[in-house]
Amino acid sequence: MKKREIEFANIDHERLCRAGKPEAVFAEFKEPKEVVEIAHEYVDRCGEVLITRANEEQIEALLEEFRSFSVRINRKARTVVIRREEAERQKAGKVAILTAGTSDIPVAEEAAETAEFLGMDVMKFYDVGVAGIHRLLDPIKRIREEEVDAAIVVAGMEGALPSVVAGLTDRPVIAVPTSVGYGVNLGGLTTLFAMLQSCSSGVAVVNIDNGFGAAVFAHLIARVARL
């Protein structure tokens, strides 16, 4: 296999073996040709790659370059998964992903795509926020009944949903604040602070709009639980 020389990036091929999670390609602020070069390096060496925060120009460049590969595009999540070939993957746990509203779905979809890339089964419960709390009854029942390793709860506005979910389940809750909200939402800071102040225990909080980080955290929880 011909070795590719990439002057602008140091590729960490051993992260999966070393840390239990692969490196993803964060496409934001990169030129399309740079994303393509890095993706090629991963696919050549590892057989697959996950690209996050991809814009339309980057997506089109990847589709053109990897026409003969298995390519999965999720434009709402802004993710691209490229594999040399599609194969059945060993399952690595189950995660439930909930959103407070429909505007939180893009962040939730980034989490879902990441979790699926990592081999997890994903259960989705969207638009079940506290403004209509009766909508949460069935998701809580399903989370209790099924072997869910963790729940990722994505919310903007006042960020109340993770506290409610954590108060009703015995599973770790990973809270994801989003930049969705009016006025003093301050781009998600108000939601972030509210989640950090959760009165329910068992809630971990990732950064604003970080669906990728939440999914990796859920994967590591499931991985350790199955050791």
> pLDDT of 182-218, one tens digit each?
988 899 999 999 999 998 999 999 999 999 999 999 9
Split at pLDDT 50, 70, 90, the class of 1 is very low
Q: With respect to CATH, is domain 15-83 assigned 3.30.110?
A: yes
CB 170 within 8 A of CB 200: no
pLDDT in tens, 3-42: 556 767 667 777 776 777 777 899 999 999 999 999 998 8
Residues 6+ apart with CB under 8 A from 93: 119, 120, 121, 149, 218, 219, 221, 222, 223, 225, 226
Asked if residue 50 has pLDDT above 70, the reply is yes
Question: What does the pLDDT read at residue 85?
Answer: 76
Q: How far is CA 154 from the centre of its chain?
A: 11
Identify whether the C-beta of residue 201 lies closer than 8 Å to the C-beta of residue 173.
no
Residue 227 has pLDDT above 80, yes or no: no
Smallest Cα–Cα separation from 43: which of 9, 7, 81? 81
CATH of 94-225, one of 3.40.50.1970, 3.40.50.300, 3.40.50.2300, 1.10.3720.10: 3.40.50.1970
Phi/psi of residue 174, each to 5°? -110, 110
Q: Phi and psi of 47, rounded to 5°? A: 90, -10
Full-prediction pTM beyond 0.85? yes
**Domain ranges, ordered by start, for the chain:** 15-83, 94-225
pLDDT value for 4:
55
The predicted pLDDT at position 5 comes to 62
| pLDDT in the model for residue 102 | 96
pLDDT of residue 145: 92
Write down the pLDDT at residue 89.
Answer: 66
